[in-house]
Amino acid sequence: MSRKIAVGIVVFKPGQPVLDRISMMVLAGFDVYIFDNSPEVESVKRISKNTPCVHYFTCGKNVGLGYGISTVCAQAYADNIDALVFFDQDTGFSIQTLEFIENYYIKRLDIADSYSSFWFNAKAINCENATGGELKDVELSINSGSLYFLDKLKLLNWHDCSYFVDGVDYKYCLDTNNAGLKIGECSYAPGFDHVSEQDDKVYRFFSKEYYLRPYPLFRIVDTSKASLKLIISSLVARRMKFAAKFFKFYCIYLATQLLVRIAHSEVK
C-alpha cells in the first residue's frame, strides 16, 4: 500500500498507548519517523528493529522537541516524502484520523502550494454544520495534528531548534507568516483524543471548566524564556499582532498557573 503522507512523533519515556499506535500505523502501511529523547527506554527501539517503515533517530539524550521535530521532518524530506503529519506522544488518534488527513490532503493538492501546513483537530467535530470540507486560514497552530508540507518547511529552515519545548509551534507560525505562506485549519478530523493521556485535571473557574495542570518551576522558567524570545522575534520582524498575541498568551499562562496553585492548596 503506497501512502501519500508519513507520520512523525517525538517520544520521551513513552507508555503502552504510544507503542500500540506505532504498531497500528505500521500495519496500515504508513512510514513512521520517530525521534527518541529517552533512548535508555528501549521499547521504541525494539519496535523499529526489522521494521523497514519505522525510521528511528536519537541523539542519545533529551535534546528537546525543536530538535526532534526538525529531525523527523528533514529525514522524511530526504526520503522524498512530500507531507508528514506530526503528533505529540500524548495525542490519541486512529487509522480513521490518518486516512481522513491523507484524503483531505490529496483532494487539496491544487491549493497546498500556498500553505506550509494544514492543522487538523476535532474542535468542531460535534457542530451541526460540521462538513469536514472547510479549510480556514489561521495565524497560529500547534504541532500536534499538523500536516507539514516538507518543501515549504525546508524553505523555513525547519523548526527552530533553539526552542526546547515551549514556543516551537508558535515560532514556526511566525516564520511561516514572515515567509508569506499560510496555515490552514480543518476542525472536523475524526478520532482525536487530546484529553485521556494528558496529566491535566478539571478546574472550575467563573462557572467554566478548564483542563489544567500546575507545571514545575523549571517548566515555567522555560515557558517564560520562550515567550520573551517570541515577543522579541515578532517585534524585530515588525509583526506587532503576533507580539501582542504572544504577550497575551503568556499573561494567561501565568494567571492560570497561579489559579491552579491556589486551587490545589485549598484542596489540601
Q: How confident is the model at residue 235 (pLDDT cuts 50, 70, 90)?
A: very high
DSSP 157: T
- Which has more confidence, 25 or 131? 25
Mean pLDDT of 39-68: 94
Mean pLDDT of 125-152: 83
Per-residue CA distances from 32 to 3, 40, 61, 75, 130 (Å): 11, 20, 20, 11, 30
Neighbours of 155 (CB within 10 A): 14
- Ramachandran angles phi, psi of 110, nearest 5°: -70, -25
Cα–Cα distance between 53 and 27 in angstroms, integer?
10
- For residue 233, the cross-strand partners are none
pLDDT digits (tens, 9 = 90+) for 82-123: 999 999 999 999 999 999 999 999 999 999 999 999 999 998
pLDDT at position 42 is 92
pLDDT of residue 129 exceeding 80, the answer is no
pLDDT of residue 267 exceeding 60, the answer is no
pLDDT at position 204 is 67
- For residue 186, the cross-strand partners are 120
| Cell numbers 500500500: residue | 1
Q: How confident is the model at residue 212 (pLDDT cuts 50, 70, 90)?
A: confident
CA dihedral 170, 19, 147, 245 (to 10 degrees): -20
Mean pLDDT of 19-46: 96
Cα–Cα distance between 125 and 186 in angstroms, integer?
10
DSSP secondary structure letters along 159-212: S-TT--STTHHHHHHHHHHHTT-EEEEE---TT-BSSTTS--EEEEETTEEEEE
pLDDT digits (tens, 9 = 90+) for 156-197: 999 999 999 999 999 999 999 999 999 999 999 999 987 777
Cα–Cα distance between 170 and 126 in angstroms, integer?
27
Q: Give the helix ranges, DSSP H, for the chain.
A: 16-27, 43-48, 65-78, 95-107, 150-155, 168-178, 217-236, 240-267
pLDDT at position 211 is 67
Mean pLDDT of 253-268: 75
pLDDT of residue 77 exceeding 90, the answer is yes
Cell numbers placing 91: 495525542
CA angle, 138 as apex, 133 and 144 as ends, to 5°? 80
Amino acid at 127: C
Cα–Cα distance between 148 and 142 in angstroms, integer?
11
pLDDT at position 264 is 60
pLDDT digits (tens, 9 = 90+) for 244-259: 999 999 999 999 898 8
Q: How many residues does the chain have?
A: 268
pLDDT at position 231 is 98
> 14-18, 77-81, 261-265: which has the minimum mean pLDDT?
261-265
Intra-chain end-to-end CA distance of the chain, in Å: 55
pLDDT at position 123 is 85
pLDDT at position 200 is 63
Q: How confident is the model at residue 146 (pLDDT cuts 50, 70, 90)?
A: very high
pLDDT of residue 4 exceeding 60, the answer is yes
Query: Which residues, at least 6 apart from 233, have a Cβ–Cβ distance to it below 8 Å?
Result: 171, 174
Percent residues over pLDDT 90 in the chain: 78
Neighbours of 7 (CB within 10 A): 26
